[in-house]
Chains A and B, each alone.
Chain A
Amino acid sequence: MSSRPKVVLLRPATRGEPQRDAAPEATPRREGLLVALARALEAGRHGLGWENVADLWSAAYFSWHSEDVDEFGRDARFIETIRPLLEFLYTVWWRVEPAGVENVPAEGPALVVANHSGVLPWDGVMITLALRHEHPARRECRMLVLDMFALLPFLAPTLARSGAVRASQENGERLLRQGELVGVFPEGVKGVGKRYRDRYKLARFGRGGFVRLALRTSAPIVPCAVVGAEEIHPVLAKADWVGRPFGLPYFPITPSFPLLGPLGVVPLPTKWSIDFSDPIPTAGYGPEAAEDPILVNRLSEQVRSVIQRMIDGRLARRRSVWFG
């Protein structure tokens, strides 16, 4: 026992390549998992110790997580890790067709307001990708996600690592004041969990919280319409009582879920389009206008009707759910 040599890790080799998704906290790469494995095996000839297990585990962990995250928990390397999967979904699975991306301001704060659908927040992920890859300034959109997603075990840390932030006035205001691009779904749970027969009918836009957010920070509002996400998990019925003990706000029954078990979370390969309309400026009203409920409601309805019009236009031109 006492003769067991301790494995002392050397300073990890840093690869010079700059990260494509350069966040301020992007940390240099540690030595890879294979190197750690080789070291553990080398040491393991004398018997594998706790240190080796911990080293291996941490090498595995840091092979796809950064050592440092931004103040909201966004992890640059984690985003890099899941990028291939998300790009596959974007280009192959859903063949997302963005339009009007240049309507999103190239710099400064702005609030992207979109319709919410599809049971799981894939629409937010695809809006983020559209702006990251197709916008001339490659803008990084921080999605504000529902409490339910931000609190669910496993999903919550994943969303936080990929840059999403729990939806609240404080968080949204902080992001916008830092000049970030922020995305919101004012329909909230009423939108994302609606039945298939209610598809593309916008639910009530909360209580106008997103308008107050934009007014307070003088951020322009960019209405955004996502078409195609409603059909990825067609909700035939809801059995909310099943999910309640697990803290789920709804429990959808789709053709594949829960019938096919884990396979049921594979979304259907519909054809998507994401439209961004002209920004609606809010700077002219002044921050105190956030306390005017009539104005807030009017702006909220204006945004809602713009989005509904964009959706209706797309639907009228769409021939097939699968091919657009």
Chain B
Amino acid sequence: MGRIALTGTASLLGGRLLRRLAETKGPDRLLVVDVAPPPAALAVRHRAVDLTAPAADQRLLDVLREEQVESVLHFAFFTSPRRDTVYTHELESIGTLAVLAAAAAAGVGRVVMRSFTAVYGARGQNPAFLTEDRPLQPDPATAWARDKLEAEQHAASFSRRYPDLKVAVLRFAPLIGPGVHTFYTRILDRRVVPLLMGYDPLVQMLHPDDALGAAEAAVDRPVAGPFNVVPLRPIPLLTALHLAGKIPLPVPHPLAYPAVDLMWAAGVGEAPGRFCDYVRFPFVADGERARRELGFSARHASRDALLAYIGYRHPQARARAAEAPA
């Protein structure tokens, strides 16, 4: 049996997947391909490959061949938007290209790639549940989404060109729960949380345990193509804020976009103004395909994931949040 290579093990999901696989498959079958070494306690092999370096694909190909890798789990993606868009583009779009090219050339059987339901784009015209065959239409002006979209396009094109390479793309709903630290949890950590006046879209919040369960299921099944990984039920944004004990501050949307952009440019904001779309319009995805083909169904509703996060982050502040979900 060949090895399973993981990238992006410094991320929450990649790191937890590494730990879980080290338990279930044994550390000998794993290989961390990353710039940062994994925790020494795991005793997992590590090969340093910088996906943003020139000729990263060649270096990665050598590593995959030498270590006899049979599957690659590609989790090197940023959840939060970054000001360094050049590096992000090199890692996410070009880096994914390198991973896919090396995997195809090394004869690796399968690649599992992390993606985001946000790549569908938040749009007023979205159906209540986005299915995997829906075209990906994120806001083209958002670098964050553009890089993820390009990574998805590389995955689709490699699947077409190399029928033997099974590329499964897991589109995770936004993660919330113990251990999650992203730009939206930083916003949620404040007492007063701004939102758009008159808009209250349904949002999905995925518990990291569920996300991990889906990733594990995808490692073992020879499936290909995109899969939405979503929680049981979405929740209205305003309901979520009140459940978390926040004070919502409604901002008129014509004001919010430039104000958020200004804060981002000034270095105090968490995201560019275009991200307001994600609290204005829904991007709720349908998990039916993952249920059918991956055998994965979430155990937590969005509400449970949120309460788990509040209990983890602010245990003393909210007696209500610690209360077990009904």
A residues touching B (Cβ–Cβ < 8 Å)? 6, 8-12, 25, 27-28, 50-51, 53-55, 57-58, 61-62, 65-73, 75, 147, 150-154, 156-157, 160-161, 165-166, 168, 170-171, 174
A-B residue pairs in contact (CB < 8 Å), sample of 18: A11-B323, A25-B233, A27-B326, A58-B243, A58-B245, A65-B242, A66-B239, A70-B233, A75-B236, A147-B125, A157-B198, A157-B238, A160-B236, A165-B128, A166-B127, A166-B128, A171-B127, A174-B128
- B contact residues around A54 at 8 Å (CB): 191, 245-247
**Residues from chain B with Cβ under 8 Å of A9 in the complex:** 319-320
Looking at the assembled complex, report how far the CB atom of B221 sits from the nearest CB atom of chain A, in whole angstroms. 26
Nearest residue, chain A, Cβ from B301: A68
Task: Report if A151-B124 is in contact (Cβ < 8 Å); known contacts: A10-B319, A53-B247, A69-B236.
Answer: yes
* Cβ of B313 under 8 Å from chain A: no
Q: For residue A7, which residue of chain B has the nearest CB?
A: B319
- How many angstroms from the CA of A166 to the CA of B242 in the assembled complex? 25
Which listed residue (A27, A70, A151, A153) contacts B197, Cβ 8 A? A153
Instruction: State which residues 194-248 of B face A: CB under 8 Å.
Output: 196-200, 202, 233-236, 238-239, 242-243, 245-248
User: How many residues on the B side are at the interface (Cβ–Cβ under 8 A)?
Assistant: 34
B253 contacts chain A at the CB level, 8 A cutoff: yes
Cβ contact within 8 Å between A71 and B198: no
| A262 vs B131: C-alpha distance when bound (angstroms) | 41
Is A69 a contact of B239 with CB atoms below 8 Å?
yes
Whether B303 sits at the interface, judged by CB under 8 Å, is: yes
Whether B162 is near chain A, meaning CB under 8 Å from some CB there, is no
Asked if residues A57 and B242 are in contact (CB atoms below 8 Å), the reply is yes
- In angstroms, Cα B124 to Cα A154, docked, is 14
**A166: nearest residue on chain B (CB-CB)?**
B128
What residues of chain B lie closer than 8 Å to A165, measured between beta carbons?
Answer: 128
With a cutoff of 8 Å between Cβ atoms, the chain A residues found around residue B323 in the complex are: 11
Contact present for B202 and A67 (CB under 8 Å): no
Q: Which residues of B lie under 8 Å from residue A28 when comparing CB positions?
A: 326
B147 to chain A, nearest CB (A): 28
CA distance A62 to B187 in the complex (A): 22
Q: Produce 1/0 per residue, B72-93, CB < 8 A to A.
A: 0000000000000000000000
B contact residues around A11 at 8 Å (CB)? 323
Say if the beta carbon of B317 comes within 8 Å of chain A: yes
A55 to chain B, nearest CB (A): 7
Contact A68 B233 (CB under 8 A): yes
Q: Is B278 an interface residue (CB 8 A)?
A: no
Once bound together, how far apart are the Cα atoms of A168 and B233, in whole Å? 20
Q: How far is the CB of B55 from chain A (nearest CB, A)?
A: 45
Q: Are B234 and A57 in contact (CB under 8 A)?
A: no
Verify A153–B199 contact, CB threshold 8 A: yes
Q: Is A69 touching B235 in the complex (CB atoms < 8 A)?
A: yes
CB closest chain-B residue, reference A161: B236
Chain A, residue nearest B243 (CB): A67
Which chain B residue lies CB-closest to A58?
B242
Bound complex: CA A68 to CA B307 (Å): 13
Task: Report A-chain residues with C-beta under 8 Å of the C-beta of B200.
Answer: 156-157, 160
The one of A65, A160, A174 that contacts B129, using a Cβ cutoff of 8 Å = A174
Considering the chains assembled together, what is the distance between the CA atoms of A61 and B247 in angstroms?
11
Residues of B within 8 A of A174 (CB): 127-129
A10-B319, A50-B191, A154-B198 known; A72 and B326 CB under 8 Å? no
